[in-house]
A and B are shown apart, each in its own frame.
Chain A
């Protein structure tokens, strides 16, 4: 593979990963926290209604996990396509 096509393949893999992460970002905040909040509030975990928990707690925990997940995965993809630093 030439350097040019390798870079393009790397960018495609990156876009796919970003799209995957952003769909989770959307689901936990907008879908679970706002759009479906009433339906999810019918379920309780501990003293929390589930929709309320996603809006005020869960979405933030998942955001943190998402960033580290992305950093970890893209680090591996960097190496796989040989575009990593150093």
Chain B
């Protein structure tokens, strides 16, 4: 069977499964729509949270980032997992005890202020929408490559699928669908990794293979060999640090508190039956996430090694040490047609030279070999995971499986985000502000309509991305880190934090972070409007815009604290509320507005 038919079969079968689950788990009440009836087991909830969290970026892009950044990419690994420790220890159990449906509802009630709730809704919707755009784009790209349909058709099909199971099933449907999607995506990610680890090191466990010796009998450790190969070609050593220590630490912190402040992740912990379950549920989520995140460094390093060795097949500088372009493998040709891999024979010798021509010392040496510059003019790092099974010559069914896995990752995250957006619109804006007396049936209808609307907006933006897809991700994390996380944490840990302190803090965090990002990336990301070039020399203390969320959060904490000291303390019933959420005793199920 050819690859295209196989892909249709595998992807089609997984979609049939997702829709079947949605029909089985159809939501009947608003409560089931929002929180799956709070009857989800912690392990099941952990698995669904993991699928919710791991997006197309985790599945497709992360290993590629690691392959080319080496050690520096550790910030993403630690940042996107360490946030769960903060969630489990500082937020999830208390928000579950509070027992409402949404993050903004907690902020509105804890700070006895509709303004605070509105600010939270705004941050939440902006963060979620920016995230969804990336997912929709990922769906389009994955369909385009594997089903050989047009990019726009791919986005359209993705929209229809999400529409069916998210609008119908609500949280309950999404939760069970995400469990299925987790199984598909983790299987698709680990199977090729196991084959490749076995090939290179003889150890089938990728996490151990990365720390093993090469299976070629040389006895050299894989990472040492990789360091040697890349430095021989003028690149920085794979395991060496290239970024400044301060920037690495702040970027890691921004990603951690951003993760803990992202509404679609926090929402998950409203769905477990008990406070104790919220704690373990975060642990299970991290177990399922870590299976992929600890495999990714092995995938990244091994993909880089395979790529370098394919091109530089013999000693550097020897006459026949480089791959002959005419003899290039099949996967090389496939990716060339997508334009994501590009070769230019600069010295006209018919062989491929891939080296760092920006390294002056090595460039001089390369010139003495007759090399005229790096000939791999484009190597898109996103192709690494998708090309891996082909590079390792794995059977077609594995390649089809990877397509289904990438789609599962993108669709599960998109559904979770869309639910967060529609809940914010129907529950926080319509029910909470405009029409508090709305009936349950009408609220359910409103959330379904809001979800349909959000899907159309996300699909449209996915087809016509504003051209700054990479930047907006920094914005989503920056907003969550600098505005939502501190407000939630102070709401629980500082009994004397009042409405004015929280609002001032959120606004200071929000606008300082926005200002810093726009300063270097252009106002609203419009090209040419940046106030200073986005280079380390211009950054304040060498802090990159992506890493500024942590600084914004510190400004939030500080300004909120000062303001709360200058204004009267919160009313007594609020202080009692805080005392009450601090103890697990008496936690009921999540409640509707009274």
Are A71 and B279 in contact (CB-based, < 8 A)? yes
Stretch at the interface among B79-87, B146-154, B515-523: B79-87
Least CB distance, A15 to chain B, in whole angstroms: 8
Least CB distance, B199 to chain A, in whole angstroms: 16
| Nearest B residue (CB) for A4 | B579
Are B584 and A85 in contact (CB-based, < 8 A)? yes
B293 beta carbon closer than 8 Å to chain A:
yes
Contacts A63-B85, A68-B280 given; does A33 touch B286 at CB 8 Å: no
| Nearest B residue (CB) for A37 | B241
Instruction: Give CA–CA (A62, B113) in the complex, Å.
Output: 39
Q: Which residues of A contact B222 (CB under 8 A)?
A: 47
Are B297 and A56 in contact (CB-based, < 8 A)? yes
Scan B213-244; emit 1 where CB is below 8 A from any A CB, else 0: 10000000111100000000000000101000
Q: Which residues of B525-554 have CB atoms within 8 Å of chain A's CB atoms?
A: none
* Number of CB contacts from chain A to chain B under 8 A: 138
A67 interface neighbour in B213, B276, B282, B294, Cβ under 8 Å: B282
Contacts A29-B78, A57-B294, A67-B282 given; does A48 touch B587 at CB 8 Å: no
Are B77 and A55 in contact (CB-based, < 8 A)? yes
| Nearest A residue (CB) for B584 | A85
Are A84 and B85 in contact (CB-based, < 8 A)? no
Instruction: Give CA–CA (A66, B584) in the complex, Å.
Output: 20
Are A34 and B249 in contact (CB-based, < 8 A)? yes
Instruction: Give CA–CA (A48, B249) in the complex, Å.
Output: 22
Q: Which residues of A contact B586 (CB under 8 A)?
A: 85
Are A30 and B280 in contact (CB-based, < 8 A)? no
Are A34 and B248 in contact (CB-based, < 8 A)? yes
Q: Which residues of B253-300 have CB atoms within 8 Å of chain A's CB atoms?
A: 253, 274-276, 279-280, 282-283, 286-287, 290, 293-294, 297
| Nearest A residue (CB) for B223 | A47
Least CB distance, A70 to chain B, in whole angstroms: 6
B396 beta carbon closer than 8 Å to chain A:
no
Scan A14-51; emit 1 where CB is below 8 A from any B CB, else 0: 10001001100100011001110110010011111100
Are B248 and A67 in contact (CB-based, < 8 A)? no
Least CB distance, B236 to chain A, in whole angstroms: 14
Contacts A60-B77, A85-B274 given; does A22 touch B89 at CB 8 Å: yes
Are B223 and A52 in contact (CB-based, < 8 A)? yes
- Tier of interface size on chain A: 35 or more
| Nearest A residue (CB) for B296 | A56
Q: Which residues of B352-403 have CB atoms within 8 Å of chain A's CB atoms?
A: none
| Nearest A residue (CB) for B81 | A60
Are B294 and A61 in contact (CB-based, < 8 A)? yes
Least CB distance, B227 to chain A, in whole angstroms: 10
B102 beta carbon closer than 8 Å to chain A:
no
Name which of A14, A38, A60 has the most chain B CB atoms within 10 A of its CB: A60
Least CB distance, A44 to chain B, in whole angstroms: 8
Q: Which residues of B contact A45 (CB under 8 A)?
A: 211
| Nearest B residue (CB) for A75 | B276
Are A83 and B585 in contact (CB-based, < 8 A)? yes
Are A41 and B239 in contact (CB-based, < 8 A)? yes
Are B283 and A68 in contact (CB-based, < 8 A)? yes
Given A14-B582, A56-B74, A57-B210, 15 more A-B residue pairs with CB atoms under 8 Å apart are: A7-B582, A21-B85, A21-B89, A22-B89, A34-B74, A46-B221, A47-B211, A47-B213, A47-B224, A57-B211, A64-B290, A67-B89, A70-B89, A78-B585, A85-B586
Residues of A within 8 A of B (CB): 7, 10-11, 14, 18, 21-22, 25, 29-30, 33-35, 37-38, 41, 44-49, 52-53, 55-57, 59-61, 63-64, 66-68, 70-71, 74-75, 78, 82-85
CB pairs A–B below 8 angstroms (25 shown): A7-B583, A18-B89, A30-B249, A34-B74, A34-B245, A35-B249, A41-B239, A46-B212, A46-B221, A49-B239, A52-B223, A56-B66, A56-B73, A57-B207, A59-B77, A59-B78, A63-B85, A63-B286, A64-B283, A67-B88, A68-B283, A75-B276, A82-B585, A83-B584, A85-B587
Residues of B within 8 A of A (CB): 66, 71, 73-74, 77-78, 81-82, 84-85, 88-90, 207-208, 210-213, 221-224, 239, 241, 245, 248-249, 252-253, 274-276, 279-280, 282-283, 286-287, 290, 293-294, 297, 579, 582-587
